[in-house]
A and B are shown apart, each in its own frame.
Chain A
């Protein structure tokens, strides 16, 4: 790594301890992954916010950094372990809430914009095509690289914080054009036309191609909601940070020789594998966080009705504020469903609370099974809402 004078100064400790430690992290990562230099990161998204995952050690580390660390670029935050305002309504214990607020305070002190969402691109952290950024949160990383065409590696929590406090990221991996070319051509022979099916495709691809970059053919159109579902799923089940979708995503790539096909049967099999619940006592949607359009759709389906099961709709507080203005939020809440802001089913402390969850998200199924010990069922939004009303 060749560091500039400014970067060497950061490393020396003259600019404070948080900056020193941050540059040390970035420098080590640069060395490990063969970067030649640092580049500017235009924005940062930080994951690792839920106290459920951080524990006291994480909290202590963040509080230490917050003593003299201040963000140098636009920096937004992943979901926390609870709704920061209405945590009691979600049944979150008070001692958890207290610790979670300390985590949030540490980030706030550093100058982080406390968005608490996995969809930063919907609430004002929207990089442009070709821009270098340093994001964690695998679904947002995949969305930024693939759908927007910005450039980021899959950062972890501490490395993204390090970029926020220095404005730098080491130039390797996804920042270099030669590493962004497709490696395998995927011919989709199935009809992919719903959020669960995009999620199922992500699971099939993630498991088959691991972290290689696919060039996907055979999908004619995809909404923002379908794309965010595919991004979340392909990154969860595989590890890729980037895909190309013919005619839809903006990155230029050569079309690779190696070809695989995805059949209708494989998609159906993936849906069945994600659907092992015989009994449903929880409905959870908004993974990644629901868009305004999804909230509109849910409000229409719930208008004038009452839900009979716990029903969480997870979204960004900013998105909910727009839904408030349109009246969607009121309609949803009058039905008894809960709009959970700032958090989601994957990071809230709800292990063992439910037996079976129905959702439209493949990623949510993965975390429900692994973290929360729920059985799952994946269905389109209309069916999820119908289940809540049963």
Chain B
């Protein structure tokens, strides 16, 4: 299947999808050293975003979250790419400063966790 979207940060990536139906808070919600989601009660609690194609509706929480994404990248625990329904400031800025390919306006409900995904955000294409 091919889904289309809007480029936030250009780049290509290939990997396994990790899908959250809920927004993600990167400041306080994800351990910056391990990439593990630590927010209590979150549907991804205990799972790691490291090396995944991370699919979620949008970011939430503190704007410091952008730096938290950068920190994940620096510790080698960042997702390979980010796919959003509606990107907002925190994730957009985080993806840009961390050079993580990021795309939004994608019908994310079509994507299932575990799917093998290819993204080319420059072309605005998600394939799986």
**Which residues of A line the B interface, CB within 8 A?**
21, 24-25, 28-29, 31-32, 47-48, 53-58, 60-61, 136, 156-159
- CA distance in complex: A58, B9 (Å): 20
In the complex, whether B67 has a CB less than 8 A from a CB of chain A is yes
Known: A53-B64, A55-B32, A60-B70. 8 other contacts (CB 8 A): A29-B93, A32-B104, A57-B71, A57-B74, A157-B63, A157-B67, A158-B67, A159-B89
Q: Name 29 interchain pairs, CB-CB below 8 A, sorted by A.
A: A24-B96, A25-B93, A25-B97, A28-B9, A28-B93, A31-B6, A31-B8, A32-B88, A32-B89, A32-B92, A48-B63, A53-B64, A54-B64, A54-B67, A55-B68, A57-B32, A57-B67, A57-B70, A58-B64, A58-B70, A60-B74, A61-B67, A61-B70, A136-B63, A156-B66, A157-B64, A158-B63, A158-B67, A159-B89
Select from chain A the residue with minimum beta-carbon distance to B90: A156
B86 to A: closest C-beta gap in Å: 8
With A48-B63, A54-B64, A57-B32 known as contacts, the answer to whether A21 contacts B97 (CB < 8 A) is: yes
The answer to whether B88 touches A25 (Cβ under 8 A) is no
Select from chain B the residue with minimum beta-carbon distance to A136: B63
- CA distance in complex: A57, B68 (Å): 7
**Which residues of B line the A interface, CB within 8 A?**
6, 8-9, 27, 32, 62-64, 66-68, 70-71, 74, 87-90, 92-93, 96-97, 104
Enumerate chain B residues within 8 angstroms of A21, measured Cβ to Cβ.
96-97
The answer to whether B96 touches A159 (Cβ under 8 A) is no
- CA distance in complex: A113, B88 (Å): 29
- CA distance in complex: A31, B93 (Å): 13
- CA distance in complex: A55, B32 (Å): 10
- CA distance in complex: A250, B97 (Å): 38
Select from chain A the residue with minimum beta-carbon distance to B63: A156
Enumerate chain A residues within 8 angstroms of B64, measured Cβ to Cβ.
48, 53-54, 58, 157
Interface contact tally, CB-CB below 8 A? 71
Enumerate chain A residues within 8 angstroms of B93, measured Cβ to Cβ.
25, 28-29, 156, 158-159
A14 to B: closest C-beta gap in Å: 18
With A61-B67, A157-B67, A158-B67 known as contacts, the answer to whether A25 contacts B74 (CB < 8 A) is: no
B37 to A: closest C-beta gap in Å: 18
A61 to B: closest C-beta gap in Å: 5
A67 to B: closest C-beta gap in Å: 14
Enumerate chain B residues within 8 angstroms of A56, measured Cβ to Cβ.
71, 74
B10 to A: closest C-beta gap in Å: 9
- CA distance in complex: A55, B72 (Å): 12
- CA distance in complex: A57, B69 (Å): 9
Enumerate chain A residues within 8 angstroms of B92, measured Cβ to Cβ.
25, 28-29, 32
- CA distance in complex: A158, B95 (Å): 12
Enumerate chain A residues within 8 angstroms of B68, measured Cβ to Cβ.
55, 57
With A57-B71, A159-B89 known as contacts, the answer to whether A28 contacts B96 (CB < 8 A) is: yes
The answer to whether B87 touches A32 (Cβ under 8 A) is yes
Enumerate chain B residues within 8 angstroms of A25, measured Cβ to Cβ.
92-93, 96-97
B4 to A: closest C-beta gap in Å: 15
- CA distance in complex: A28, B92 (Å): 7
B88 to A: closest C-beta gap in Å: 7
The answer to whether A32 touches B96 (Cβ under 8 A) is no
Enumerate chain B residues within 8 angstroms of A28, measured Cβ to Cβ.
8-9, 92-93, 96
- CA distance in complex: A264, B104 (Å): 45
Enumerate chain A residues within 8 angstroms of B97, measured Cβ to Cβ.
21, 25, 61, 158
Enumerate chain A residues within 8 angstroms of B89, measured Cβ to Cβ.
29, 32, 156, 159
Select from chain B the residue with minimum beta-carbon distance to A153: B89
- CA distance in complex: A24, B8 (Å): 9
Contact for A48 among B8, B9, B67, CB less than 8 A: B67
B32 to A: closest C-beta gap in Å: 7
- CA distance in complex: A28, B95 (Å): 11
Enumerate chain A residues within 8 angstroms of B74, measured Cβ to Cβ.
56-57, 60
Enumerate chain B residues within 8 angstroms of A157, measured Cβ to Cβ.
63-64, 66-67
Select from chain A the residue with minimum beta-carbon distance to B67: A58
Enumerate chain A residues within 8 angstroms of B90, measured Cβ to Cβ.
156
- CA distance in complex: A322, B67 (Å): 36
B36 to A: closest C-beta gap in Å: 16
A164 to B: closest C-beta gap in Å: 14
